[in-house]
Amino acid sequence: MLEIIHRDGLARIGKFSTAHGEIHTPTILPVVNPNIPTLTMEEMRNLGATAFITNSYIIRRNPKLREKAEKYGVHSLLGFNGPIMTDSGTFQSHVYSDVEFSNLEIVDFQRKIGSDISTILDIFSEPDFSYDRARAAVMETYRRMAELPQVDDTIIAGPIQGSLHMDLRKLSAELMSASQAGYLPIGGVVPLLENYRYDDLVDVILSSKINADFSKPVHLFGGGHPMFMGMAVLLGVDVFDSASYVKYARDNRMLFQDGSRDLSKIGSFPRWSPLYGKYTVEEVRNAAPEERFKLLSMHNLSAIFNELEEIREQIYQQRLWQYVEARSRSHPYLFRAFLRLLDHSGTLERFEDLSKKSTFFYFDEYSERVPYFKRIERNLGYIMTPERGNYRVLSPDNWHPGRTHSAEFISLYERTAERFLVPWNNTVIPVELDETYPFQQMISSGFVRPDSIAAAADIPEGGEPVDAVEGATRNFRLERVRMVADFQFGSGTGKKLFSDECEVRVSRSTGRLRSVLLKGQLMATLRAHDGFFTLGIAGAQKLLDISPGLMNRIVVTDDSAEFNAQGYNVFFKFVKKFDSSIIAGNEVLVVDDKDNLVAVGKSTVSGPEMGYYKKGVAVKVHRGIREKPEADQD
């Protein structure tokens, strides 16, 4: 089972164990043909390879290879003692109509030769397959998985098929997830990759991923071109495999992050290339065919691992969406795929963190369709599209994020009943959220749509008077923390969570909102980096009292509760029940079977993922009920 180390939506840096070591994701397994070795294992390891894939069907058909593999194992055959995955011959079966071995025979052979990940003989589905034909392939593939005896000496890979019929991809993902398959490749996609049908791939990957068991690594068969890797990882792909590094080299083509280029049109090698500084372009062009082929293969494999390293860093920084958005402009087919990606923003929003390490980037109208923008619309739709009631959009000339709390403005706010909104990227937001992610933590291009809410609104000049409303009294600080609570925990939460008796304190050094107390007890602290709440025990208990059912909760076993109450983290294997709408990175209430508060902490994953993982931390607890009382600090 995969253990998450870092995440950014569906993208994740993780690891899982095999009999010959751990595989760290995202990564690629270079295809090794034992009949035609191109690069040595040492050369490929030096370029970044830590695991490989080879074809068990090819090995079995070759008497010499078979004898050595059966006698000494596939690791000895390839000269590599790390993780090795074997394919089954599915593609050969599809191309040549039949193979001479059955599913049981080919899986048994993979086990005998010591494969770490063994693949069943599934039925390949072409993109143009009819619904009935694709469904028959899905069901036959599942039957072949079900006919296998229970094994524990290899990880079984159960490919997800279904052609371009998304309900079949969903069905296949669910069937394979419920089987003994511990590894889930997405199959039948090579024709889409070869024809740059990346927009269709977006649908295929997402339908497969969100209906699969999240604890099992997802592999994209044949997805080895660096141009599409970022988008694939963004959609939840953990592992790739490809022979592209040798296929392109055979045609004298070189892989780059934004596509491929012909050697004859190259002016110089990039600094990251293993050829840089060792060979001139002219020397490689004039090299003997086999030497040129090897050199270009080294460059291509380096291009792949160079891109993967960048993707990992983008996940760590939680900037992968911005990276993919920028990269999509490098090729029309990628941009078409990006537009398809935007069509799925509502689905992807469920997996987005509450806030991110990175600044929110606003480029143009397409940025208004990204997943986090969908969350803003969902949480603040009743405010962002004002149709009735008292509201006032503050003039951009008289409002700047984080500078609205002057004595004059606070006096005006507290003497009126109007809603004050501020322009933000072609829409409007409540002024109370001006310091909350992503409203202040943002860099904008300044693009303005003529038809936007902010542009179309009747924005009064800054000096226009606002009449006080008789009997209207509001506490600006209290209304601010209530609005943050509404955005963070759901509309209507703020007033229930923070009563009129609450005291809101500000930092003496920055003047920003700092904490909320009730009768001397710390309810919550506002985090400086994103403006959201970290709950204290008193605040957590109040949220528990006002939240029905499983809302905002994670229920743990009694054994776990004892430790969590002392401030220790919650591990996935001790989670019994949970709120399926939990937002990754948000505050959650840790409770026991009797709904007694045990601890409060930050969820590491979203609700849709929570029930799958069995390894790693589910909640990073920051306060248990048995710890010493909290003190408010500036």
What are the catalytic residues? 87
Length of the chain: 634
The answer to whether the beta carbons of residues 367 and 442 sit under 8 Å apart is no
Whole-angstrom Cα distance, residue 301 to residue 295?
A: 10
Distance of CA 181 to the CA centre of its chain: 22
The answer to whether the beta carbons of residues 183 and 157 sit under 8 Å apart is yes
Hey, how many other C-beta atoms are within 10 angstroms of the C-beta on 419?
A: 16
Span between the terminal Cα atoms of the chain, in Å: 42
Whole-angstrom Cα distance, residue 452 to residue 105?
A: 63
Helix (H/G/I), strand (E/B), else coil: 556: strand
Residue (of 182, 171, 187, 190) closest to 217 by Cα position? 182
Instruction: Write out the DSSP string of 311-379.
Output: HHHHHHHT-HHHHHHHHGGG-HHHHHHHHHHHHTHHHHGGGS-SS-SSPEEE-SGGGGGSHHHHHHHHH
Cis peptide before 438 (omega within 30 of 0): yes
Backbone angles phi, psi at 361, to 5 degrees: -100, 130
Q: Which structure tokens are listed for 552?
A: 């905002």
CA-to-CA separations, 137 to 156, 163, 587, in angstroms, rounded = 19, 9, 44
Read off the amino acid at residue 264: S
The answer to whether the beta carbons of residues 556 and 591 sit under 8 Å apart is yes
Helix axes 226-234, 289-317, angle to 10 degrees: 30
- Exposure class string for 522-540: b at 16+ Cβ within 10 A, else e: bbbbbeeebbbbbbbbbbb
Whole-angstrom Cα distance, residue 110 to residue 69?
A: 10
Strands 597-603 and 587-591 come out as antiparallel
Whole-angstrom Cα distance, residue 352 to residue 332?
A: 27
Residue with tokens 């993902």: 173
- Exposure class string for 207-225: b at 16+ Cβ within 10 A, else e: bbbbbbbbbbbbbbbbbbb
Whole-angstrom Cα distance, residue 229 to residue 327?
A: 11
